[in-house]
Structure 1
Amino acid sequence: MRPENDLPSLEQLLAGYLELRTESARAGWLEAEEGEVLPHDAGSAPPIDHRLAWDEAVAALAHTPARQRPSPRLLDSAQMQEWRLLTTAQEPVTALPFCVGNFPQMVRNLQDLLQPHEEGQPAEPLPVPGLTRWAESVAGNGPSLALLAAGLLRLARQYERAGELLRRTRPVEHCWSAAWQNEEAALAWHAGRREEAGRLWDSSGDYLPAAFNRGLSALFLDRPAQARAALAPVVEKLPEDSSWHHLARLYLTLAEIRG
């Protein structure tokens, strides 16, 4: 364990992250959608930056064999509007897996992180018909787009459809196995099957998003020592300008606090 005084506090880490997003809003880097209100102080969470959310949502694909990050230009204007609606509709979460579709801006409530975690029931699916049709249409165009399609369906809480798509499009090449297993585990996690997800991540090898998620799983299944062991190398490997790096640091600090 690192010395306690080497670790920023959880409050400092999350407050700094929220302050950066607030400064982005004040500088005009965030686009306020109709009906959204920009924060007046750094203590409130800024609105979702939809462009950043896309970059965060495809970040896991950079660790797959293809190392591709699909551009949002793949979506037409109507589908992009649904993406903005989909990201805005996400409720704050505490335990967020590193997988395609997820974005760290979903973790934005400090008090939820400090409180004992209670597992809730999966929410109702979100209606995004344009994105759903797009996902089904591109799923056969290679593994990267298949994972993106499944991730968008999972983000929309269309769990059965996402699972069927992952089964249908699984590549025969072994090099994709860890990436596919990571997404299957993330689907199980979001659907409330957390022990199953943890077992899948435990057998996913050195794939970096899965290593992140082994730490996440251990942390929120009350195994802080295992969480520290898993998350410490992940923090070192993820680039410091990555939102996933900062989220890994948050979780590592939380694991240190919990023992």
Structure 2
Amino acid sequence: MAPDGADGLMVFDGKFRKPVDAAVGPLGAALRKTKLTPDHLTVVGLLVGASAAVAVGSGRLILGLVLVILAALPDLLDGALAKASETSSQRGAFFDSTIDRVTDALLLGGIAYYFADTKDPRLAVLPYAVMATASVVSYQRAKAESLGLEAKGGLMERAERIVVLCVGLLLETFVDDALVWILWGMLLLISITAVQRFVKVWKQAEVAPVTQARIDLRRERRASRREARTTRRRTRVPLRERVPRRQD
């Protein structure tokens, strides 16, 4: 599953991104020979992720764990295929990011159902709290980038969340309530990540220069006003010409 950001603070994407890209590069080249597209792989990842959510919700945690791992593979390979086939695009990136959010919601929804069915129903609120806080983290990056700023990094981004979630599913099969404590820890670390990103963007915005987009917008507005004034001048009714009086 593609992480939602990367910089030095991100453990998996920051330190292991290049080795992973080098490892899956040949697989992307092999997939290029098929008729699959990156969007196809993204959809496959969504379907497998939905199956994982159903498995977890029904209490089959080991099956859910295996499916979560399998769901990560298409999401890992779609980027390699896009690079190998030179089909990387903004539309593909937008589609992949949207599907990632949907998959996250399904997985956490499956955990919420599992808690409500096998534990205290009130614990079902915990996965939704994790999902809501994670959505804030993703929104911070999206909003910052729309303003020409950067909000990558943090202790608990998407790649870390998926890995920790897998660990929680595994431990839950041996230790009762292990997944509950794992989610409490995730919630804390995601909240810290949200604060980290907020501070990072806040500092950038304090000294951020006017972006080129804003400069271009101001120029367009000034040009429109000048054009409007010119048009009004040209459409003014000319003064009535004086007609000389008849000499009787």
Larger radius of gyration: 2
- Relative to the length of structure 1, the TM-score reads 0.29
| Greater share of residues in helix | 2
Larger relative CO (CA 8 A, sep 6+): 1 or 2? Answer: 2
